[in-house]
Chains A and B, each alone.
Chain A
Amino acid sequence: MTKYTIKRLLQSLVTVLVVATIVFLLMRMLPTDYYFTEDQVMKLTEEQKNDQLLAAGLLDPIGQQLLRFYGQLLHFDFGVSRRIQTGAPVLKVIGTKFAISMRLGCTALVIALIIGVFLGVMQARHKDRIFDHIGTAYTIFVNAVPPLVSYSLVLAFGAHVLNLPTLYSTRNVGKSSILPIVCLALASIAHYALWTRRYMVDELNKDYIKLARIKGMAFKDIMVKHVLKNAFVPLVQYIPASFLMTISGSLLAERFFSVPGMGPLLTDAITRYDLNVVQTLVIIYAALGVLGVFLGDVLMMLLDPRIKLADKGGSR
C-alpha cells in the first residue's frame, strides 16, 4: 500500500513538472516586447532594451532558461511580478489572494459535500417520489442554466430577501462571504446529489442487499451499514473533480462578487502580460488538480479493499 502511494505521488510530481515545463515554454514563445510597459517601449532605445533583456536572462538559449527555471522551482522561487505589483515576489502577490480563494472554495466544498450527499441519500430513499423529482429538477436546473443566471438569482434573493451584502468586503468578511460561497456550492451540491443518488440506487439493486434483507436486517441499517459506504467509494473519485470545479468556478464567482481572490488575479495577469504571475498561477491550479486526483486515489484505496491487490500483484 505504501509502495502504491509513493508511486502515485511520484507520478503526480512528474505531471506537475510537465505542466510547469509546457507553461514555461509557451510563455517564452511570446515576443519579448511584452517585457516592457508601453512607456518603456516608446522611450528606450533598442540597445537599452537589449541590455535589460540580457540582464534578465531572457536572451539566453531556451534550454539554459529552462534549467534555471527548474532551479528556481526547487527553491520555490517564482520570480517577481512586473505589472500587478511591480517588483514584488510573485508568491507574495498571490499569497493573500490564494488564502481568500481557498477559504471560500474549501468552505463551499465542505458545505456542498454535506448537503449534496444528504440530498442524494434522501433522493435514493424516496426514489421516484416527489422529493426525488425536486432534487432531479434542481440538478438539471443548475447544470442547464448558465452560471451567471443562477448567480444573479442568488444575488437577487440574497440582497432583497435576506439583506446580505452583495460585494465582498474585507471589513465584513463573514457576512459578505455568504453569497459567494453559496454560488460556489450550487454546482457541487448538484453534482454530489446526482452521483450519490445514482450510486446508492445502483447498490440498492444489488444481490447482496437482498441477502442482507433475507438475514433480517432493517432497511435503515442496510442503508447506513451497506449502501452508503459502498456508494461512497465510487463517489470519492468525484471529490477532486469538484474540487477543481469549485476553483474554476471561482474565476467567475469571485469576479461577480468582487472577491479579491485568485480568480480575478489570473485574468488580470493575462490581460496585463504579467508572465511570472500567469505562469505561477497555472502551476498552482495544475498542482491543486493533480493533488485532488491523488487524494481521490488514496481515499479510494483506503475504502476499497479490492484496490490493495494492485500492490501484491493480485494474490488470491
Chain B
Amino acid sequence: MANANMEKAPILSARDVEIQFSLRGKKLKAIRKCSLDLYQGETLAIVGESGSGKSVFTKSFLGMLDANGSIVGGSIQYDGKDLATYKTEKDWMTIRGKKISMVMQDPMTSLNPLKKIGRQIEESIELNQGIKGPEAKAKALDMLRKVGIPDAERRYNQYPHEFSGGMRQRVVIAIAVACHPEILICDEPTTALDVTIQAQILDLIRSLQKELNMTVVYITHDLGVVANVADRVAVMYAGQIVEYGMVEEIFYDAWHPYTWALLSALPQLGVKGEALPTIDGTPPNLFNEVKGDAFAPRNKRALAIDFVEEPPFFEVSPTHKAKTWYLDPRAPKIEQPDSIRRLREKMKLKERG
C-alpha cells in the first residue's frame, strides 16, 4: 500500500524550509533547508535526538512556532497554498484543527483543568464545523466513544482530574481529530505514558487513521514505536533530514552515518558483555554556521570532503535517499558497520521463523 502512495502527488510538500529563532539578540537556525513530502494516508515517523528540530519543523506546518521563531526561507505547499507565507492567526485558523492537527506529548497538561471534558471536545466541533447545541454534543459524545472511552455520557460531564493519563491522552486525541483533519502530527504521543498504555494509544491512533483516512506524522525517539507503526521514516540531525526511506530500508539498509549510529545504539543489538555503543560528542551549535556535513565532527569514519562541502541527497532506491558523501561514486568503498549487518541478519532469521 505504501509503495502505491509514492506514485501519487504529495498532499503536503515542504521545500528548503528554514526556521530561525532569535534568542537574546542572536539568531539560531533551528531548521536548515529541510525538505519533506507527505503522502495521503501514509504514516511517517521522524526520528532524531533532542534538539534536532523534529518538533519545530512539524510545528511550522500549523503555525505553532514560539513567538520568537519564524520561517525565513523555503515553502510549504499544501492544498494549493504556501503555508510558509502565512503570518496571522487568522490565516492559520483556516488550517488548524480542520486540515492539520496535533497531539502533544503530555496529556496531563494538555487539557484545561477547569473545563468539562465534553465541552473541550465540543468547542473544537463548534469552531470547525459550525454546529452548536445538542447536535454538537451528540458529535462530542460520539467522539468520546470513538476514542474508546466507556460510559461516554457520564464522562462527558467530568473534569480532566477525574481521568487517568491514558484516558486523558484519548481525550486529547479526540479533540485533535474531532474535525477530521487530513494530517495528524503526533509529537511523542506516548512518551509520558505507561508502557502498557503506549500500545493501546498507538492502536487507537492507527484505527482512527484508517477510519478517517488521515496522514499521520509521528515524532519520536523510540525506534521501537517506529518499527511498529511507520510506513516511512525520516531521520533528522541538526535541523535537516539526513536520510529517509521506507521503514525496512532505514532499518536494514541505512547509509547515513548518523542513522548507523542511532541504530547501533539500539539495546536489542547489544552483545552480552559489551558496552552498548553511544554517539560521542554533541550536536553542532546552531548559533554558528554549519560547514560541510553537520555530523562529520562526531563521525569517526568521516571523509575529508565531509568537513568542507555539504553533501547532496543520493538515491539508494526510488523511495530511499541519504544525504552523505559515502554514496558518491567517487567516494572510497565504505562498508556498512557490523551492527547494521547484524540487524539485517537477525531480521532475516526472524522472518524465516
**A interface vs B, CB < 8 Å?**
206-208, 210-219, 225-226, 229-230, 233, 303-306, 309, 316
Q: Beyond the given A207-B110, A216-B97, A304-B114, could you list 12 further A-B residue pairs with CB under 8 A, ordered by the A residue number? A: A207-B106, A208-B109, A208-B111, A212-B112, A214-B96, A215-B96, A215-B127, A216-B96, A218-B89, A230-B113, A230-B114, A305-B161
Assess whether B81 is interfacial by the CB under 8 Å rule: no
Residues of A with C-beta under 8 A to B112? 208, 212, 226, 230
Residues of A with C-beta under 8 A to B64? 210, 213-214
Q: Could you say which interface size class chain B belongs to?
A: 20 to 34
Residues of A with C-beta under 8 A to B97? 214-216
Assess whether B241 is interfacial by the CB under 8 Å rule: no
Given contacts A216-B128, A230-B113, A303-B114, contact A211 B175 (CB under 8 A): yes
A308 to B128: give the CA distance in the assembly, Å: 33
Residue of B nearest to A306 (CB): B161
Assess whether B93 is interfacial by the CB under 8 Å rule: yes
Assess whether B29 is interfacial by the CB under 8 Å rule: no
Structural contact, A211 and B110, CB atoms closer than 8 A? yes
The interface bits of chain B over 137-149 (1 if a CB of A lies within 8 angstroms of the residue's CB, else 0) are: 0000000000000
A214 to B101: give the CA distance in the assembly, Å: 6
Structural contact, B62 and A214, CB atoms closer than 8 A? yes
Structural contact, A306 and B175, CB atoms closer than 8 A? no
Residues of B with C-beta under 8 A to A206? 109
Structural contact, B176 and A207, CB atoms closer than 8 A? no
Structural contact, B159 and A215, CB atoms closer than 8 A? no
A210 to B66: give the CA distance in the assembly, Å: 10
Structural contact, A306 and B96, CB atoms closer than 8 A? no
Residues of B with C-beta under 8 A to A207? 104, 106, 109-110
A7 to B179: give the CA distance in the assembly, Å: 46
Q: Report the minimum CB–CB distance from B162 to chain A (whole Å).
A: 6
Given contacts A206-B109, A210-B64, contact A215 B114 (CB under 8 A): no
Residues of A with C-beta under 8 A to B96? 213-216
A233 to B159: give the CA distance in the assembly, Å: 16
**B interface vs A, CB < 8 Å?**
62, 64, 89-90, 93, 96-98, 101-102, 104, 106, 109-115, 123-124, 127-128, 159, 161-162, 172, 175-176, 178-179
Structural contact, B113 and A214, CB atoms closer than 8 A? no
Structural contact, A216 and B113, CB atoms closer than 8 A? no
A218 to B123: give the CA distance in the assembly, Å: 12
Residues of A with C-beta under 8 A to B128? 215-216
Residues of B with C-beta under 8 A to A233? 114
A46 to B12: give the CA distance in the assembly, Å: 103
A10 to B128: give the CA distance in the assembly, Å: 49
Residues of B with C-beta under 8 A to A219? 89
Q: Report the minimum CB–CB distance from B67 to chain A (whole Å).
A: 10
Structural contact, A215 and B110, CB atoms closer than 8 A? no
Residues of B with C-beta under 8 A to A213? 64, 89, 96
- Ordered by A's residue number, 14 sampled pairs between the chains whose C-beta atoms are within 8 Å are A207-B110, A210-B64, A210-B104, A211-B110, A211-B111, A212-B123, A214-B101, A214-B102, A216-B96, A216-B179, A217-B123, A230-B112, A230-B114, A305-B114
Residue of B nearest to A214 (CB): B102
Q: Report the minimum CB–CB distance from A74 to chain B (whole Å).
A: 42
Q: Report the minimum CB–CB distance from B293 to chain A (whole Å).
A: 34
Structural contact, A229 and B110, CB atoms closer than 8 A? no
Structural contact, A215 and B161, CB atoms closer than 8 A? no
Q: Which of B89, B90, B162, B176 contacts A214 (CB 8 A)?
A: B176
Given contacts A208-B112, A214-B62, contact A306 B159 (CB under 8 A): yes
Residue of B nearest to A316 (CB): B162
Structural contact, A217 and B127, CB atoms closer than 8 A? yes
Given contacts A210-B64, A230-B113, A303-B114, contact A215 B89 (CB under 8 A): no
Residues of A with C-beta under 8 A to B161? 305-306, 309
Given contacts A207-B110, A208-B110, A316-B162, contact A215 B101 (CB under 8 A): yes
